[in-house]
């Protein structure tokens, strides 16, 4: 992205509009790849959370967070998303939200 910005600045100084448009396309492509990487990071964590629950059914949020090396809040979002997608089931035994556990959906 920095390379594209530098090329855009240089092209603007030289009034080279072909190079300027190419440099701007490079900047936009780099921004898109950065955004895609952020999205993929969440998917990788989803897979790690799902794999941990498969091996440890009934695991609580805090246990899963420690196992995958992420914060409780972030893992809770992953667990909510996986539950909404129907991959996990929330085990409710009247437990407080901090002690909720999850298992794979049937």
Residues 6+ apart with CB under 8 A from 3: 26
CA dist 20 → 1, 11, 30, 32, 43 (Å): 14, 5, 15, 18, 35
What is the model's pTM? 0.60
Name the pLDDT band for 52 (thresholds 50, 70, 90). Answer: very high
Residues 6+ apart with CB under 8 A from 91: 58, 100, 101, 102, 103
pLDDT tens-digit map of 13-51: 777 767 767 777 777 777 777 777 777 776 788 889 999
């Amino acid at each position: 992205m920095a390379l594209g910005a530098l090329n855009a600045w240089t092209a603007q100084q030289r009034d080279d509009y072909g190079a300027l448009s190419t440099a701007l396309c490079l900047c936009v492509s780099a921004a898109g790849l950065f955004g895609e990487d952020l999205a993929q990071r969440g998917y990788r964590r989803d897979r790690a959370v799902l794999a941990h629950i498969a091996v440890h059914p009934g695991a609580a949020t805090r246990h899963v967070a420690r196992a995958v090396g992420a914060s409780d809040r972030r893992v809770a979002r992953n667990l909510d998303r996986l539950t909404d997608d129907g991959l996990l089931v929330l085990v409710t035994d009247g437990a407080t939200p901090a002690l909720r556990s999850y298992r794979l959906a049937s």
